Amino acid sequence: MLCWGNASYGQLGLGGIDEEIVVEPRICEFFHGKRVSDVGCGRRHTAILLEDGTVYTCGCNDLGQLGHEKTRKKPEQVVALDAQIIVALSCGESHTLALNDNGQIFSWGLGSDGQLGLNNFDECVRVPRNIKILSDVQVTQVACGYWHSLALSKGGHIFSWGQSRYGQLGLGMQGHSVPTPQIIQSLQGIPFAQISAGGAHSFSLTLSGAVFGWGRNNFGQLGLNDTNDRCYPVQLKSLRSQRVMYISCGEDHTVALTKEGGVFTFGAGGYGQLGHGSTNHEINPRKVFELMGNVVSQVACGRQHTLAFTPTSGKIHSFGLGGNGQLGTRSTSNRKSPYPVKDPVLPPISPPSTGKTQTASIEDVSVQEPHRKLCTLNEEIIQKWLNHSPGRLPLDISKPLLYSTYNTYCTCVLFFLLFSHPDHYCTSSKYSGVDMNMARVLFHRLVRPGHPEISQQIAASLEKNLIPRLSNSPPDIEALRLYLTLPVCPLFSDQNNYVTIAIPFAKSLISLKEAPLKVLGNWWSRFEPPVFQRLVELYKEVVVYLLKMNKVGIPSVEQRIFTCFLDTSLRLLELLHKVSDKAGHIIEYDKFYIHELDDLIDIRRDYVTWIQRQMYPMGHDGVVTLCRYPFVFDAQAKTTLLQTDAFIQMQIAVDQAQMQNISSMFQPAVESVNPCLILIVRRENIVGDTMEVLRKSNNVDYKKPLKVIFVGEDAVDAGGVRKEFFLLIMKELLDPKYGMFRYYEESRLIWFSNKTFEEHDLFNLIGVICGLAIYNLTIVELNFPLALYKKLLKRQPTLDDLKELMPDVGRSLQQLLDYTEDDLEETFCLNFTVTEDNYGVTEVLELVPNGEEINVNKSNRQDFVNAYVDHVFNNSVAPLFKCFYAGFHKVCGGKVLELFQPNELQAMVIGNTNYDWTELEKSTEYKGEYWADHPTIKLFWEVFHSLPLEKKKRFLLFVTGSDRIPILGMKSLKLLIQPTGGGEHYLPVAHTCFNLLDLPKYTRLETLQEKLLQAIEHNQGFNLA
């Protein structure tokens, strides 16, 4: 051991030497042949720890700080600790702490401020005494300030006691001393790696490099850009991205060491102890540039001096106050910049320990990384648990199990951090620093069917200790890692643990305040889709489990608890759905569907209840309606909801009509009205006739059931006539002769033409027609992009929508955004204008005021793309879409639309083209003499499956009135085939009202094919054949 500095009290352990000041490192011969593992330096005393766990002290003993009554000039063993194996120690102004291998703390020396933690304020305690209040806590680190003390437990809790004049205990108070260890509550849940104490300030360091400081700040020693004291821990955010791995505190200054070997200092600099070549104070962390080029592995602070150790050279650099020789430079001069300590020729030495005016350093001892003393899950621990034979776990295994995984809620994620990868030091609101795959693998190794005793203990600890302690406002983002890792534990997926673990965890999660929830959302958004999907599936299964329980029957006294559980699970799913949606669909929206809902709840009643709650809010009345969470409804459920809404609206309209008709019988002034909306139209003037009827109709009429009559045709409208009406009128309205819409060849889609000469009423009519189609559950041919349905649901179109409508333009704009070279302006030559061709005339339109004068460059290209998209979908067609929107919402306005995604609304309007011809055959039913294996039916399907796609679509149009598939798929068409009288010279006849096909009993394949093709090519017009 080497030592230097003030020796006037014998604190260097050099025996009876004449010098009071030792200005260069000197070997302490007393420890020759002994292995020193740690040294602690106080103001006038020193404590030395040997590898075998024995403790020696030397120096001033006027307040009992040596722990014995022997001579102070040379080291003497603290015999009161003979029965203990001490593993760490620390010295304050005049008190000492020692930590044994069982995590117990012993203290002695000055106790007038309660710094000994013995629940008294005794002036001095001369014999080490155990701090019994911490006897049930496994402590891994201790740190002494001048008159206060800190301890870090194996579970990550930080305890403080002693003087609190400047808030150095972090307990939220100043002035009062505290004689017993207290948990710093505001730091609960964060995985800490190290603690450090200065004169009257304190610091703690997390596993991923977050730094928290509190206490005295008169010189800026907390690094918070001011000189105000803090009585609560505050994060030093300026160091968050620096990968700090060690903190050391002097009397009024602080040093931070980074993983790359960089050194930052801040606080008092009056003696040059900050190493910046000046005596200035620094209120913000500042890097010591004169140490650049040297990879520093350890730092230590004295009262007003600093040391930095470089392992590659074995050199120690010192700077600051040198009046007592504490810099070891053979001089008593101060040093404002790092200067090498004069060192005799020795093997590489370990990091130094510094006191107020003395310094000690140890030969050949490796540096312990702070986190190695903390509890972490690792392969060795897990294997030890798994190797134990089944049955009750002995205490030596079960206690570490509970401590190292769940008993304190910050440590179960420690091993999952990417210790092997430096990125975990970059933990931020965007990056969690957690290896989710490793977490999943280890959890699944730990929780196995063959080891129920381990699973039971973990489950009990989760339920009773971990989840109940979760805070809704964690002090740092590192505490949020728990919310990522815990759900991958197999215990969460066990139905037996839903009520005790999964749901309470979800409650804690959704109770988080806005800021931590936002961080968690950012982390979730970086999940791989399979990982995110597993979390979604977990809580979908919880919801299904709860609904099944409710269907079986829940006692009325437990109904409120059930409601709370269900609401909690759905709210978590809602949170995940929002994250997925915001991140551009981590998983597709249909992955949130709960397909079992149709069997588990009365969807119609749920919708009615939801509507009632919307109309007449009743506060929290204990009722959960799933319509509040529409993302869980699949196509079948949403169709049921739409049908329910349509039925309610139609019934209201019919009832109103009937009431008016009854009134007209007694009051001649009141006209009678038809309970249905009747459209009598001519095929040759379908648009004009429809416009005439709708103009005379009130909004309430649109809610009535729709009946269509074609003049001169005797078909009864049971659905088929209505289907053909929608098909024909949309085909007419979209005809280019009107110029209402522009057709895009590449995408084969249409959009509003901003140069139409038609009246805006026609756009209103198209909106009404679309609304009526949805309302009457009829699909129509309307080749608009998804953007239309986004706008109908008040969502903004994006560049992706432009890519769908105008693929070439979309690709060009994406290339503009992706361009990385500096010559963007010269390459693209764009300004904030758009060129359009209208009826052969080229027109240049400005996207923003003075757009011609604004060139597109790297800084504003996103603005240009946004303006372009806004122009196409919004500004250029605003009055036209406004009319369309108004017409649509005359019919379909209401709460039911809030339940739909744009894709789902699109499928409701136009159906889809997910043709499954095999499913069509399977779902077809037969009447009369026909059955699935009838010879004619076999011939029919053989012919049908041989037809090209276009002919099959024509067949659908012939039989059903539309060539598209309803949102529920092919099976929902319910095609019906029946035999008909007459011979083989007759054609098949379709009754589109009923999706019914009259098929003569053909015996030859060629005849059937010929007649079928003839029939589907001439399918306009209805009769009652």
In this structure, which amino acid lies at residue 920?
L
Question: Is the predicted pLDDT of residue 311 greater than 90, yes or no?
Answer: no
- Considering the candidates 3, 91, 410, 993, report the single residue annotated as catalytic: 993
Can you tell me the distance from the alpha carbon of 284 to that of 276, in angstroms, rounded to the nearest whole number? 13
Q: CA–CA separation, 308 vs 324, rounded Å?
A: 18
Residue 475 has pLDDT above 90, yes or no: no
Q: What mean pLDDT is predicted for residues 155-165?
A: 92
Closest C-alpha to 26, from 44, 5, 43, 42: 5
Percent of all residues in the chain with a pLDDT value above 70, rounded to a whole number: 87
Question: How open is the CA angle 782-802-806, to the nearest 5 degrees?
Answer: 75
Residue-level pLDDT at 419: 42
Provide the strand spans (E) within 649-756: 677-681, 706-710, 741-744, 749-752
Average pLDDT over residues 705-728: 77
What does the pLDDT read at residue 150?
Answer: 98
Q: In a 3-state reduction of DSSP, which class is residue 283?
A: strand
Query: Which of 275, 73, 77, 105 is CA-nearest to residue 181?
Result: 105
Res 535 pLDDT > 90: yes
- Region 39-59: mean pLDDT is 94
Average of per-residue pLDDT across 552-568: 88
- Percent of the chain residues past pLDDT 90, beyond the cut: 48
Q: What value does the mean pLDDT take over residues 450-475? A: 84
3-state secondary structure 26-90: EECHHHCCCCEEEEEECCCEEEEEECCCCEEEEECCCCCCCCCCCCCCCCEECHHHCCCCEEEEE
| Selected residue with higher pLDDT from 515 and 450 | 515
- Torsions phi, psi for 686 (to 5 deg): -65, -35
Residue 735, phi then psi, degrees to nearest 5: -60, 135
CA–CA distance, 918 with 569 (Å, rounded to integer): 39
- For 394-436, what is each residue's pLDDT tens digit? 544 444 444 444 334 334 444 444 444 455 666 778 888 788 8
Confidence band of 312 (pLDDT split at 50, 70, 90): confident
Check residue 258 and give its pLDDT: 92
d(CA 115, CA 131): 11
One DSSP character per residue, 123-152 reads: SEEEEEEE-GGGTTS-EEEEEE-SSEEEEE
Residue type for 547, please? L
Mean of pLDDT values over 152-157:
87
Q: End-to-end alpha-carbon separation of the chain, Å?
A: 111
Q: pLDDT value at position 476?
A: 80
Above 60 in pLDDT, residue 283? yes
Q: Are 54 and 114 in contact (CB under 8 A)?
A: no
In three-state secondary structure terms, 677 is: strand
pLDDT in tens, 296-309: 999 999 999 999 99
Range with lowest mean pLDDT among 445-449, 613-617, 874-878, 998-1002:
613-617
Query: What is the DSSP pairing of strand 706-710 with strand 741-744?
Result: unpaired
pLDDT value for 254: 98
The structural domains of the chain, ordered by start, are 2-371 (2.130.10.30), 378-635 (no CATH), 677-783 (3.90.1750.10), 799-909 (3.30.2160.10), 914-1017 (3.30.2410.10)
**In terms of Cα–Cα distance, which of 980, 981, 993, 988 is closest to 1008?**
988
DSSP H helical ranges for 736-837: 761-775, 786-792, 799-805, 807-818, 824-828
Residue 274 is predicted with a pLDDT of 97
For residue 524, what pLDDT is reported? 94
* Mean pLDDT value across the chain: 85
User: Which tens digits make up the pLDDT trace of 606-662?
Assistant: 888 888 887 776 655 567 889 889 999 987 788 788 778 777 776 776 676 677 666
SS (H, E, C) 941-955: HHHHHHCCHHHHHHH
Kindly state the average pLDDT of the residues 537-546. 96
Based on the number of CB atoms within 10 Å of its own CB, is 291 exposed (0-12), middle (13-18) or buried (19 or more)? buried
pLDDT score, position 54: 96
Instruction: Supply the pLDDT for residue 357.
Output: 58
Quick one: which of 248, 161, 263 has its CA closest to 204? Answer: 248
Rounded to whole angstroms, how far apart are CA atoms 717 and 758? Answer: 31
pLDDT value at residue 983: 82
Neighbours of 676 (CB within 10 A): 16
Greater confidence, 520 or 443?
Answer: 520
Q: List, for residues 262-271, the tens digit of each pLDDT value.
A: 999 999 999 9
From the list 363, 368, 311, 364, the residue with the least C-alpha distance to 1 is 363
Q: pLDDT tens digits for 810-820? A: 999 999 999 99
CA distance 139 to 88: 10
- pLDDT tens digits for range 730-746: 888 877 777 788 888 88
CA distances from 987 to 980, 984, 1018 (A): 10, 8, 11
- Least confident piece of the model among 242-246, 550-554, 570-574, 806-810: 550-554
Name the DSSP class of 434: B
pLDDT of residue 257 exceeding 90: yes
- Which pair of tokens denotes residue 459? 């489950």
Q: Is 993 a catalytic residue?
A: yes
CA dist 720 and 27 (Å) reads 104
Q: What is the average per-residue pLDDT within 229-245?
A: 92
Residues 55, 59, 61, CA angle at the centre, nearest 5°?
90
The radius of gyration of the chain's CA atoms, rounded to the nearest angstrom, is 40
Q: Is the pLDDT of residue 171 over 60?
A: yes
Q: What is the pTM of this model?
A: 0.75
Per-residue model confidence as pLDDT tens digits over 337-383: 999 998 754 444 454 565 555 666 554 333 334 444 444 455 555 56
Lowest mean pLDDT among 20-29, 32-41, 554-563: 554-563
Q: What is the pLDDT of residues 929-967, one digit of tens each?
A: 999 999 999 999 999 999 999 999 899 888 887 777 877
